[in-house]
């Protein structure tokens, strides 16, 4: 498969790091990160053959840590470029003695292209990605057919792709693009969003949005290879 045209679908943010975040990025880094330019062997990384769920852009990591705590039968890999969020997640993972959560630092598309093998992921999560709300920036949105085709190769047949956004126009774009793509099928009726599942933890950001009356749209699609 040809490499995707490089689209910057995220913004690298920087800022001051707390001591715990710095510790996560230094002395704890080797225990919780995945660093390789070879295809990842998840059984070796986690020491078991449990299903692997990839989360793209986990932010501060609180909800991903919560999911790893609640689902010890699953292995989670979080991808993020934001150092403060990575440091916070690693520190929290260590504090909670979690063995089923690892981190990749960098661009998720590059990892999918280069080091994640086909038919290895049992699920992918994409919660509240940058909506690139200006029309002229819509081409920067990560949800495009080229990305979905790449993702389908890495997901096992029948694996689920779970998305959530608080930007209605992006939700509509997600729905339209996914339903047009031959590799994915809506778990609901056509053009129907998924009721917010209990297993997706509420983030502080989302709770604040609820107080302000903001909507949130969940979509869950199944990978059905043609």
The pLDDT value recorded for residue 87 is 97
Gyration radius of the chain over CA positions: 17
The residue extents of the domains of the chain are 19-29+41-223
Which helix (H) or strand (E) is 68 found in, with range?
helix 62-70
Cβ atoms of residues 156 and 119 within 8 Å: yes
The pLDDT value recorded for residue 11 is 47
Catalytically annotated residues: 130
Measure Cα distances from 209 to 10, 23, 32, 57, 202 in Å.
Answer: 21, 31, 31, 19, 11
For 61: left if phi > 0, alpha if psi spans -120 to 50, otherwise beta; the answer is left
The pLDDT value recorded for residue 10 is 46
The pLDDT value recorded for residue 2 is 46
The pLDDT value recorded for residue 3 is 47
Cβ atoms of residues 92 and 15 within 8 Å: no
Annotated binding site for substrate: 134, 166
User: Is domain 19-29+41-223 in CATH 3.40.50.150, yes or no?
Assistant: yes
Task: From first to last of the 226 residues of the chain, give the pLDDT tens digit.
Answer: 444 445 554 445 556 899 999 999 999 999 999 999 999 999 999 999 999 999 999 999 999 999 999 999 999 999 999 999 999 999 999 999 999 999 999 999 999 999 999 999 999 999 999 987 788 868 889 999 999 999 999 999 999 999 999 999 999 999 999 999 999 999 999 999 999 999 999 987 788 777 878 899 999 999 997 6
Annotated binding site: 55, 80, 107, 130, 134, 166
């Amino acid at each position: 498969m040809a490499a995707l045209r490089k689209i910057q679908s995220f913004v690298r943010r920087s800022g001051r790091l707390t001591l715990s975040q710095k510790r996560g990025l230094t002395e704890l880094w080797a225990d919780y990160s995945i660093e390789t330019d070879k295809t990842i062997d998840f059984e070796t990384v986690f020491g078991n053959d449990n299903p692997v769920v990839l989360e793209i852009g986990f932010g501060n990591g609180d909800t991903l840590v919560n999911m790893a705590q609640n689902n010890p039968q699953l292995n989670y890999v979080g991808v993020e470029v934001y150092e403060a969020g990575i440091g916070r997640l690693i520190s929290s993972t260590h504090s909670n003695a979690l063995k089923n959560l690892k981190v990749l630092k960098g661009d998720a598309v590059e990892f999918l292209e280069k080091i994640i093998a086909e038919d290895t992921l049992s699920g992918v999560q994409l919660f509240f990605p940058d909506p690139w709300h200006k029309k002229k920036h819509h081409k920067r949105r990560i949800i495009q057919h080229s990305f979905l085709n790449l993702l389908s190769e890495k997901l096992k047949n029948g694996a689920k792709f779970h998305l959530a956004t608080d930007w209605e126009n992006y939700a509509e774009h997600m729905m339209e693009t996914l339903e047009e793509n031959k590799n994915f099928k809506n778990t609901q009726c056509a053009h129907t969003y998924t009721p917010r599942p209990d297993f997706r933890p509420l983030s502080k950001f989302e709770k604040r949005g609820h107080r302000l009356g903001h909507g949130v749209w969940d979509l869950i699609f199944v990978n059905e290879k043609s």
